A and B are shown apart, each in its own frame.
Chain A
Amino acid sequence: QSVLTQPPSVSGAPGQRVTISCTGSNSNLGAGYDVHWYQHLPGTAPNLLIFGDNNRPSGVPDRFSGSKSGSSASLAITGLQAEDEADYYCQSYDTSLRAYVFGTGTKVTVL
């Protein structure tokens, strides 16, 4: 069972803004550990979107942005495009489990 909780699905029309929440606890996000975000299309390699709470690797469009406050974090996608339809995962480290942990995953659907 994952210690980072995400909504199972979010959807939006092309051009709209969607957000994905990631709720942790005081042994991971609340303890100050960074949150990171990945985009994953089935059958392909996951792709790093955001690292260190709000940093984008080179090549990731600025339509993707991240934020964190306390034990919660969120990923925002603005100007939603058909190619953004994928699964999205948050990830951090949990000091109680002594393990790297992923969120439950959110499927983004472009209507």
Chain B
Amino acid sequence: QVELVESGGGAAQPGRSLRLSCAASGFSFSLYGMHWVRQAPGKGLEWVAIISSDSNNQDYGDAVKGRFTISRDDSKNTLYLQMNSLRADDTAVYYCAKEGCYNGVCSGHFDWWGQGTLVTVSS
């Protein structure tokens, strides 16, 4: 059974940094792209970042570009999100999600999600 478990959330002051982790199990982690998605309090889902299965490609939403870095360690089956220069509007529950593929074709969806980790940015 696929399992994704996020950790590393907590409280941080504006301008500081946090690193989130997502431990994956139940599938061949190295074969799939991985995403971070967030949900601010009372708001909808917002895509944050993607890293390809081979780590050669990353992409980010405009709100976090230049401040957040996505990475992965396939030897540890773990996904990371380094969050720098945190702002109050980064306050959200952060979810990691697995790239969805069907019959060998990945169609841009997220087929498994973690339970999320809460990040609160406040002075």
Q: Which residue from chain A places its CB closest to the CB of B109 in the assembled complex?
A: A36
CB distance from B107 to the nearest CB of A (A): 5
A-B contacts, CB under 8 A, total: 68
Q: A44-58, CB under 8 A of B: which get 1 and which 0?
A: 111110011001010
In the bound complex, what is the Cα–Cα distance between A38 and B44 (angstroms)?
12
Q: Which residue from chain A places its CB closest to the CB of B47 in the assembled complex?
A: A100
Q: Are B47 and A51 in contact (CB under 8 A)?
A: no
Q: Is B113 an interface residue (CB 8 A)?
A: yes
Chain A residues in 8 Å Cβ range of B73 = none
Q: Are B35 and A55 in contact (CB under 8 A)?
A: no
Q: Which residue from chain B places its CB closest to the CB of A92 in the assembled complex?
A: B108
Q: Per a CB cutoff under 8 Å, which of B44, B110, B112 touches A104?
A: B44
- Mostly, the B contact residues are strand
Interface-centre pick from A44, A51, A57, A103 (highest chain B CB count, 10 A): A51
Interface size counted on chain A using CB atoms at 8 A: 28
Interface size counted on chain B using CB atoms at 8 A: 25
CB distance from A94 to the nearest CB of B (A): 10
In the bound complex, what is the Cα–Cα distance between A101 and B37 (angstroms)?
10
Q: Which residue from chain A places its CB closest to the CB of B46 in the assembled complex?
A: A102
Q: B41-58, CB under 8 A of A: which get 1 and which 0?
A: 000111100100000000
Q: Which residues of B61-102 are within 8 A (CB) of A?
A: 61-62, 95, 97, 100, 102
Q: Are A45 and B109 in contact (CB under 8 A)?
A: no
A-B contact pairs, 22 of them (CB 8 A): A36-B109, A38-B110, A44-B115, A45-B114, A45-B115, A45-B116, A46-B37, A46-B45, A48-B100, A48-B112, A51-B107, A52-B102, A93-B108, A99-B47, A99-B61, A100-B47, A100-B108, A101-B47, A102-B44, A103-B44, A104-B44, A105-B45
